[in-house]
Amino acid sequence: MTKKFTNKHLNIVSQDMLYDGFMQIQKIIFDHALFQGGVQKAVYRELVIRGHAVGVLLFDPTLQEFVLVEQVRIGALKDSASPWLLEIVAGMVEKGESVKDVAIRESFEEAKAVVKKLIPIQEYWVSPGGSDEKVSLFLAEIDSSKVGRFAGLESEHEDIKVVRLSVNDALEKLQLGQINNAMTIIAFQWFFLNYKQDDSAF
């Protein structure tokens, strides 16, 4: 029978801060148990500290359309089309907040959308080989006719265009690869696998 390891099978030897800016980077040395017995000693890794994020797919079941946001993303500088990406609303959990608090806050900050109902989608690790970022995804029921055209906080240097898309247009963009970031793809895949127009859950 394959062994099932937990936190108890990993030992942090040292943990040092290498950089503390918009993100943090730590140098971690650790030991861990091996599947075939014994211990792997002194594994060295850098870890990008991002924390817990929340993503929200905004959906109007009456008008049958989504609300997405478009903004520049420094990590997409090498995108052949543009580093301005079409995404779902998202933000980081701050001290004292629940994930639902963040979903409601970010929906308004980034799209001027008022959440009527939140439906949990999924929690997942973004890139656990080098980052501690975890994402909680939600579907939010909204009235898309009342969202803003532009949004974002000046204090966070956000310049956001709000985009309304029909269900068909969103599916087409997904299939054509015009929606190309993981959080948005995962949210849409869940939606198109689970949504039924007459489902009272939406």
Tell me which of 109, 110, 156, 172 is the catalytic residue. 156
Rounded Cα–Cα distance for residues 197 and 191 (Å): 11
Residuewise pLDDT in 10s, the chain (202 residues): 567 899 999 999 999 999 999 889 999 999 999 999 999 999 999 999 999 999 999 999 999 999 999 998 888 889 888 899 999 999 999 999 999 999 999 999 999 999 999 999 999 999 999 999 999 999 999 999 999 887 777 767 678 899 999 999 999 999 999 999 999 999 999 999 998 765 555 5
Calculate helix-pair angle for 167-175, 182-194, nearest 10 degrees. Answer: 130
Q: Which two tokens stand for residue 80?
A: 């052949």
Distance CA 141, CA 60 (A): 6
Residue type, 193: L
Backbone torsions φ then ψ of 21, nearest 5 degrees: -135, -135
What pLDDT is recorded for position 68? 97
Farthest-apart Cα atoms in the chain, separation = 61
**pLDDT for res 158:** 74
pLDDT at 148: 84
Q: What does the pLDDT read at residue 97? A: 95
CA distance 112 to 144: 10
Specify the pLDDT at position 79. 84
Residue whose tokens read 């599947």: 35
Q: How far is CA 60 from CA 68, 76, 90, 114, 145, in A?
A: 12, 29, 18, 11, 9
* Annotation marks residue 123 as catalytic: no
Model pLDDT, residue 85: 92
Under DSSP, the state recorded for 113 is P
